Amino acid sequence: MPSVDYRSLAGDILQGVGGEKNIASATHCATRLRLKLRDDAKADTAAIEKLPGVITVMKAGGQYQVVIGNNVPTVYAELGKITKLTGDDAGANDEPVAHGNLFNRFIDLISSIFSPVIWPLAAAGLLKAFLSMATQFGWLDPASQTNVILAATADALFYFLPIFLAVTAAKRFKTNQFTSMAIAGALVYPSIVALSAQAEPVNFAGIPMVMMNYTSSVLPIIVAVWLQGYLERCLTRVLPSAIRNFTTPLLTLLVMVPLVLLTVGPITTFAAQGLSAGINAAFTFAPWLAGGIMGGFWQVFVLFGLHWGLVPGMLNEIATQGYSLLLGPLLAAVLGQAGATLAVMFRTRNKARRTVAGPAALSGFLAGITEPAIYGVNLPLKKPFYFGIAGGVIGGAIASAGGSGATAFVFPSLLGLPAFSTVGNFGLQLLGTGTAVAIAFLLTFFFGPREEAAAEASDAGTSVPETAADTPAAAAPVPASSTSATATSTAVTGTVDVLAPVAGQAVALADVQDKVFASGAMGKGLGIIPADGRIYSPISGSIKAAMKTGHAFGIKSDDGVEVLVHIGIDTVQLQGRGFESAVSRGQQVRAGDLLAVVDLDVVTEAGYDTTTLVMVTNTAQLADVNPVAGGTLAQGDTAITVQV
């Protein structure tokens, strides 16, 4: 339904159900907008069913379900823009599911929280680069008021980064975003920043407190908002409704701000001090080793806030001896990551990623500002980040082996090179930095992820999905029964075989216990009563929808066949319990790749039908769609034959 105006549709549905005041809550699944109405009698079902883009309306499980089809996330997002019902404007229930080991999940979390602020970060980074260039070449007086104003414009986002991240983290963790912003504001409040700089002991209510500088920090506010979510939910349950609205944020602020200052500060500070002592010791007996550590892992230190323990050492070295050896390897660290980002710009086929990577690489090379590169490009894709580290290790070791250092505390960048020119062997500094850039660039260019074009991911504030090369599902073993089927799903004869995603008993669509699916309104297909809980992709193509709850997936083949795999009937109500997704939206899969694992006992014990639906949702656009008549299917058998 490409001609549907989804913003108008969202407004028309809202009016049809009696307005926002008549909606207690709004969610969506793979195909339906699910509303809980305060008064069903106020809903004009007949009028809603006539709206362009609405397939049908049904009432089940205490919900008023408006069946939209594959475009329901768009309608849900538009509903969020005109109401306060959804809690965000991006379709929260359609977020990619984090998977893999703990570190990969951590990277996915950081990337998703940074995603909405990547463009402003890239813009601010470019502005800082241009300002550095202007002052470096004498085009702008560094002491002028014009420079002060422009520098504040460029620096504000980085300085107050915790406040911006508080907003995106609040959406991710479902907390009150204004309370989250207040917590972040306290961390970067001028008097708190001043406490971190003073030599006198700091205490809170008699408890000794180790302070750190939280400006530009990342993890402290993310951890704080995560904990805030648990505290808010607890307070909501136990506080009387008469006082809940103001006492919940009051108690949250009173608990969270001191808690973060008493815990995150000491943990980070002690870890940073230990790291600083170790690296300084390494510089005395093995400069190349210390340089390799600093060059490779400086960006990791920044990510965890550990760099604050090294900065005082750098400043002290410059004050006492006129130069800092700790700064020497940082050119390789920073420009290595910039080199990896530049390679992504040339390698990726994703327009949205490319448009971020270009400015991010430029700000990294010219100004040493790597936040846009790290959080918008390298970290989400993982491999470029690793390759940047590899380049930094080798380049930093070379630079420090030559005794390189800096005579001023500058951002490591091409414009900052003069500060590195008079300490140690400048030739080895240039060799090390060039080596770091070359290694990071070449490894990323030849072995990094080559993302496919994804117009769906180009909307502002939407993270660009990873490719299959970077996800565990891509390495999932393909069952023997599906080996030959991979080829048939991309046959050039005009026939596409949609495979059975799971072994079990085939059920005619008309016999499925859901009137929307059974009616064929969503397209032709069949149901399969699963014999086990491992669900595989029925075709090769791109994941267009991966529900957060793990119960439904939309896949589009290269031939243009759109398939919905819906595990169980009404299982969205389980909120992901018993389901474990193996793929995320935007990922490329082959027929036979694992989509999800479901505990069928959990589904059955909760009273839900386990019948798994396999639907060709764009049936009307295809020449013919023929599901098998019935019988027992093995996983990988042909379930539906499509003529394209």
Contact 83, 76 (CB under 8 A): no
d(CA 162, CA 225): 11
d(CA 553, CA 564): 6
Structure tokens at 203: 């205490």
Residue 315 has pLDDT above 50, yes or no: yes
In 145-240, where does DSSP find H-type helix? 145-159, 161-173, 177-187, 190-197, 219-238
d(CA 565, CA 556): 11
DSSP state of 60: E
Residue 413 has pLDDT above 90, yes or no: no
pLDDT cut 90: percent of the chain above it = 30
Mean pLDDT of 139-151: 90
Mean pLDDT of 595-602: 91
Q: What is the pLDDT of residues 478-532, one digit of tens each?
A: 333 333 333 334 344 478 899 999 999 999 988 888 877 888 878 899 999 999 9
Q: Angle formed by the axes of helices 145-159 and 161-173, to 10°? A: 30
d(CA 469, CA 465): 11
Closest C-alpha to 610, from 537, 528, 552, 535: 528
Closest C-alpha to 509, from 561, 554, 569, 562: 569
Strand pairing category for 23-28 and 32-37: antiparallel
d(CA 148, CA 21): 49
SS3 5: coil
The least confident of 66-75, 299-308, 450-459, 587-596 is 450-459
Q: What is the pLDDT of residues 432-466, one digit of tens each?
A: 999 999 999 999 999 988 765 543 333 333 333 33
Q: Which residue has the tokens 């970060």?
A: 121
| CA torsion angle 498 501 507 513 (round to 10) | -110
pLDDT cut 70: percent of the chain above it = 89
Contact 528, 614 (CB under 8 A): yes
pLDDT at 412: 87
| 17 pLDDT tier (thresholds 50, 70, 90) | very high
Mean pLDDT of 411-418: 84
Question: Which H, E and C letters describe 65-106, residue by residue?
Answer: EEECCCCHHHHHHHHHHHCCCCCCCCCHHHCCCCCCCHHHHH
Residue 235 has pLDDT above 60, yes or no: yes
- Which residues lie below 8 Å from residue 494, measured CB to CB, with a gap of 6+? 623, 643, 644
Sign of CA dihedral 471, 473, 474, 477: positive
Q: Which helix (H) or strand (E) holds 36?
A: strand 32-37
Residue 535 has pLDDT above 90, yes or no: yes
Q: What is the pLDDT of residues 268-294, one digit of tens each?
A: 777 777 877 788 788 888 999 999 999
| 595 pLDDT tier (thresholds 50, 70, 90) | very high
Residue 312 has pLDDT above 70, yes or no: no
**Higher-scoring residue by pLDDT: 535, 518:** 535
pLDDT at 89: 38
**Higher-scoring residue by pLDDT: 133, 307:** 133
**Higher-scoring residue by pLDDT: 519, 182:** 182
d(CA 164, CA 171): 12
Sign of CA dihedral 557, 563, 566, 572: positive
pLDDT at 308: 64
pLDDT at 344: 93
**Higher-scoring residue by pLDDT: 330, 467:** 330
Q: Which helix (H) or strand (E) holds 188?
A: none
d(CA 147, CA 151): 6
d(CA 92, CA 313): 44
Contact 567, 596 (CB under 8 A): yes
Residue 586 has pLDDT above 90, yes or no: no
Question: Which strands make up the sheet holding 638-643, listed edge to edge?
Answer: 495-499, 638-643, 624-627
Q: Which DSSP string do the residues of 538-605 spell out, in sequence order?
A: SSSEEEEEE-TTSSEEEEEETTS-EEEEEESSSGGGGTTTTEEE---TT-EE-TT-EEEEE-HHHHHH
Mean pLDDT of 413-432: 90
**Do you know the residue count of the chain?**
644
Q: Which DSSP string do the residues of 498-528 spell out, in sequence order?
A: EEPSS-EEEEEGGGSS-HHHHHTTT-EEEEE
Question: Which strands make up the sheet holding 63-67, listed edge to edge?
Answer: 23-28, 32-37, 63-67, 56-60
pLDDT at 531: 92
Query: Which residues sit opposite 638 in a β-bridge?
Result: 499
Give the amino acid at 320: T
Residue 581 has pLDDT above 70, yes or no: yes
Contact 247, 222 (CB under 8 A): no
Q: How far is CA 237 from CA 230, 234, 257, 412, in A?
A: 11, 5, 22, 50
Catalytically annotated residues: 29, 566
pLDDT at 437: 95
d(CA 226, CA 246): 20
- Which residues lie below 8 Å from residue 434, measured CB to CB, with a gap of 6+? 395
Structure tokens at 35: 């509303």
Q: How far is CA 253 from CA 64, 160, 230, 246, 315, in A?
A: 37, 19, 13, 11, 35
Contact 405, 328 (CB under 8 A): yes
Task: Classify burial at 251, counting beta carbons within 10 Å of its beta carbon; exposed 0-12, middle 13-18, buried 19 or more.
Answer: middle
In degrees, rounded to 5, the angle at the alpha carbon of residue 412 between the alpha carbons of residues 409 and 416 is 75
| 203 pLDDT tier (thresholds 50, 70, 90) | confident
Contact 617, 70 (CB under 8 A): yes
Q: What is the pLDDT of residues 153-170, one digit of tens each?
A: 988 988 898 999 999 888
Domains recognised in the chain with CATH numbers: 6-90 (3.30.1360.60), 472-643 (2.70.70.10)
Mean pLDDT of 376-397: 92
Query: Which residues sit opposite 554 in a β-bridge?
Result: 545, 564
pLDDT at 309: 66
d(CA 464, CA 356): 11
Structure tokens at 3: 């001609």
Q: What is the pLDDT of residues 72-126, one digit of tens each?
A: 878 888 888 888 776 543 333 334 444 455 666 777 677 778 777 877 877 887 7
pLDDT at 87: 52
d(CA 523, CA 565): 12
